[in-house]
Structure 1
Amino acid sequence: MEEIIRRFESGARYAYARICDSIPILDIEKDVMQKFDLNSRWAKDVVMRAKAAYDGAEKLVETGRLESPRKLIWGGRKNFECRSKGEITNGEWRRIRSNQFWSRGDKSKNGNLNLRIEPAEDNYQLRITIGTRQWEYCQLWIPEKFRAMLNAHLNTEPCYTVRVKRGKDDRYSVFITFDAELPTQSVGFKEGAIGIDLNPSGQAWAEVNVHGQLLGKGWINTPELQYARRGRRDWLIGQIAHQIVGLARSEGKGLVLEWLKFKRGENHGRKLNRIFNNFTHNRLIEAIVREAKQQGIAIKQVNPAFSSVIGRMKYQEVYPHLAVHEAAAYTYWAAEPYALLTCR
C-alpha cells in the first residue's frame, strides 16, 4: 500500500512540474509509466491528478492568492514552514506529501481494473493492481446503510472510481464514487415554497403559499457550527441538511436557497475570522442541494443581495414578529415568485 502511494504521489509531482513546462500530456504519461513503473491506467490517473492540481493553482493565481502555479507546495505551505523550522521531521513531511492514490472506473472494462471491489464472506475486499497480473487484497468495510446501494450498482453497471487515503492515525479510508440515478421530482413549487437563510450561528426559514403569503417561520439554532472541528462540523452540516429537507418534504414545498459567498482575504477580527473560516457555506449549500435531489424535492438558488435589508425595511413592518434572518428567508420567495412558479 505504501509503495503504491509513494509511486503515485511522486509521479503526480513529477507530472505537475512537466505540465508547468508546457509538455504535452501524452508525453508526460509515457514518462510517468517508465520512471515510476506504472501501467498505462495508473499513469493516466497520475497525470489527471496533476492536471487537477494545476487547474486549481491557476484559479488561485487569478484570485491573487498564489503568485504562480510553480509556487504551489505539495503538502501545504504551513507544513513546509514547519519542516523548514525543524518542527516536523523529514519522514513526517514525506508522509504528509504522499498520503493517497486513486483510480478511475471504465465501463468498457467492466469496472475498475486497478482498484476493484469484490464481495467477501462477511463484507468486501479491495483488489489493488501492483504489477502485471499481480494483485494485493485488502479487507474493506462498508457501512451497513450503503451496502444495498453498492450491491445494486455492482450487479448492474460496475463502473466506479476509488480513492484510498491514509489518515493521521495511519488508518486508510476508501472513498467510492459512482453515478446514481436521481428519483423523479415529487415535491415542487405548486403549493408554495420554503425560503432558507443560512448563517454561521443558525439557519432561518420562512414558509409561504403559492401567492407568497407567509404561513410559518422558524430558526434552526446551530452555534456549534462556528467552533466545531472539521469532523464534527461535517456531521453537523449533514444533520442540518437532513432537517431542512425533511421540513420541505413534510410541508410538500420546494426549497429556495441563497448562493452567498463570504469575501476572503479581509480581516474581520480574531473571533469573526474563525467563524467565517469554519462556516463552510458552499459545503452546507451542496449538502442541502444533494439531499434535496436524492429525495426528489425541487430546489432553486437566488441572488441574496440586500435580502436582509429588504426583509428588515419592508417585510418586518408587515410581519413584526419576524426576525431579520427570517425576513431575509421570506424575501427569497417574494423577490422572484413568477420565476419559481415556472419550476413546477
Structure 2
Amino acid sequence: MKKAYFSRLVFRLYRLEEKKQKYKTHIPSCVFGGKKLFKSQFTKEEYQQNHEKWQEIFHQARTKQMMISGRKDAKSGNFVFQYNIENRALHFTSMRGKAFTIPFVLFPYGQEIVNNVILTQQTCKNKKVDGKPISWSIEDHRDYYIIKCLAEVTPNPYVNFSTSEGVIGVDCNVDHFAWADLTNDGNYLESGKLKFSIEGKTSGQITKIIEAKAIDLVDIAVQKNKPIVLENLDTTLSKTGNRYANKKANRLKSLFAYKKMIIAVTSRAEKMGIDVIQVNPKYTSVAGKLKYMRKFGISIHQAAAFTIGRRGLGYKDKPPKILHQYIIRHNVHHWCHWHTLNKKLNVRTHLFYTLFNVNTPHQSINLYNQSLTENERKKLFKALA
C-alpha cells in the first residue's frame, strides 16, 4: 500500500513539473491582462531577473478597469455610483466601505443624454416598473482615468423611413465603403467611396477609424435626405479562411470587420434620424459586375452598392439580354442565372469593361479580346460553347 501511495505521489509530482514547464512555452487561450504581457515574463530579460516587477505590471493590467452594473430600482440607477447633475461630481463607495468623490466629471459627447437619463430615473415614481439601470465604468490609464456612463437611450422618434426620394446603397469592404445614390425608381445618380486603412491596427483603433468613416457616410445620406441600404452579411464561416488558399486573401478575410461597420453605421444613422434597410447579399456583386459596371463606368464595388440599393427598393436585377444566350435554364429564379453566368465568365474583373457591352444586346461576347490571356480564352470558349 505504501509503495503504491508513494508511486502516485511521484507521478503527481512529475505531472505538476510537466505542467509548470508547459506554462513557460504554452500560453493559455484566455489570459486576463493580455497574452503578450503574460508571455513577457519568460521572454524579456528584465522580467526574468525581476519577477516581482512583472507581477506588479500584470496586476495593474488585470485590475485597471472596474464596471458596476446598474439596477432599475436604485434612486440614481446604480447602488454604488451616484452622479450629481448640478456640480457634476461622481460619488461611489469601494468594496471596503470607503467613499470617494471625483469632481468635475464632464462628458464631451452626450452630456445632455447623461443628464436626462439620470434626471428621469430620479423623478421616476414606480422604479420597479418604469426605472432604467445605469452602469458605470472606470478605466485606470496611470496618467489619467476614463469614466464611462452606460445607459439605455430612448430611440429617435424622428427617423426618415421614406424611400420616395430614393436610397443610398452601401457595399462594405475591407478597406472602404462604396456607396451609390439612387432615385426612387431605381435609376443611377452618382457613386463614390470612402477609403480607410486598418492594416496593422489594434481592435480599438479599427473601431475608431470605421466610426469616423461611418459618420461621413451617414452625412451623405443626411444631405440627400435618403435612407441607407446595407447587406445582411454573415462572415462567421468566411473569417476562418481556406487552409490552401492565398495567404493574402485569408488575411483580408480576417481583417474584414463587417460587424463593426454595421454597428457604426446603424448607431450613427439612428442618432441622425436615418433609417437603415438590410437586404439579402446574394449575387449583388455578380449582378453589379456583369450588368452595371460597364454601363455606368464605375468600380465593381460601386456597382454592387447600386445593386444593393435597387434590392432595397424592391427591384429585381435580372441578367441583361446580351447574356441570355448563355443561360441554359430560363424557368428558374434569376439568382440561379447569376450563379451560372459567374461560373462561365471566370475572368479578371477589369476585363468586363471591354468584354461585352450591355447597351448593345444583339452583339456577343468578344472572345478574341487582346487583354485576355490564353488560359482565360480557353476557359471562355469551353464554357460558352
Give the superposition deviation at 1:116. 2.0
1:234 aligns with 2:210: no
State the match for 2:111 in structure 1. Answer: 147
Deviations 1:49-91 (A, max 9, x none): xxxxxxxxxxxxxxxxxxxxx9633333343333344565122
Give the superposition deviation at 1:316. 2.0
1:183 aligns with 2:156: yes
Q: SS where residue 102 of structure 2 aligns?
A: strand
Aligned partner letter, 1:98: T
Q: Is the 8 A contact 1:206 1:214 kept in 2?
A: yes
Deviations 1:9-37 (A, max 9, x none): xxxxxxxxxxxxxxxxxxxxxxxxxxxxx
Aligned partner letter, 2:120: T
The equivalences for 1:235-314 within 5 A come to 235-260=208-233, 261=235, 263-266=238-241, 279-314=256-291
TM-score normalised by length of structure 1? 0.67
Give the superposition deviation at 1:170. 5.0
State the match for 2:368 in structure 1. Answer: none
Q: Is the 8 A contact 1:194 1:248 kept in 2?
A: yes
Q: Is the 8 A contact 2:91 2:99 kept in 1?
A: no
Aligned partner letter, 2:188: L
Q: Is the 8 A contact 1:200 1:226 kept in 2?
A: no
Give the superposition deviation at 1:186. 3.3
Deviations 1:164-186 (A, max 9, x none): 2223x453222211111111243
State the match for 1:217 in structure 2. Answer: 191
TM-score normalised by length of structure 2? 0.61
Q: Which has the higher contact order (CA 8 A, sep 6+)?
A: 1
1:327 to 303, 318, 335: 303
Aligned partner letter, 1:247: I
Identical counterparts, % of pairs: 23
Say if 1:275 and 1:118 are closer, same or farther in 2 by CA, change over 3 A: farther
Say if 1:243 and 1:148 are closer, same or farther in 2 by CA, change over 3 A: same
Say if 1:117 and 1:269 are closer, same or farther in 2 by CA, change over 3 A: farther
Alpha-carbon distance in structure 1 between the residues aligned to 2:61 and 2:240: 26
Deviations 1:257-316 (A, max 9, x none): 124327334377776666555553311210110011122211112232332222111222
State the match for 1:112 in structure 2. Answer: 78
Q: Is the 8 A contact 1:196 1:204 kept in 2?
A: yes
State the match for 2:102 in structure 1. Answer: 138
1:72 to 30, 34, 59: 30
Alpha-carbon distance in structure 2 between the residues aligned to 1:140 and 1:273: 48
Q: SS where residue 182 of structure 1 aligns?
A: coil
Which structure has the greater CA radius of gyration?
A: 2
Give the superposition deviation at 1:326. 0.3
Q: Is the 8 A contact 2:186 2:315 kept in 1?
A: no
Alpha-carbon distance in structure 2 between the residues aligned to 1:269 and 1:277: 13
Give the superposition deviation at 1:246. 1.2
Give the superposition deviation at 1:197. 1.0
Say if 1:259 and 1:82 are closer, same or farther in 2 by CA, change over 3 A: farther
Deviations 1:232-274 (A, max 9, x none): 5433322211111111111121101124327334377776666
Q: Is the 8 A contact 2:240 2:254 kept in 1?
A: no
Q: SS where residue 168 of structure 2 aligns?
A: strand
Aligned partner letter, 1:114: V
Q: Is the 8 A contact 1:226 1:279 kept in 2?
A: no
Q: SS where residue 293 of structure 1 aligns?
A: helix
State the match for 1:90 in structure 2. Answer: 55
Alpha-carbon distance in structure 1 between the residues aligned to 2:165 and 2:305: 17
Aligned partner letter, 2:239: R
Q: Is the 8 A contact 1:202 1:221 kept in 2?
A: yes
State the match for 1:173 in structure 2. Answer: 146
Paired residues, number: 266
Alpha-carbon distance in structure 1 between the residues aligned to 2:101 and 2:247: 48
Q: What is the root-mean-square deviation in Å for CA atoms of aligned residues? A: 3.0
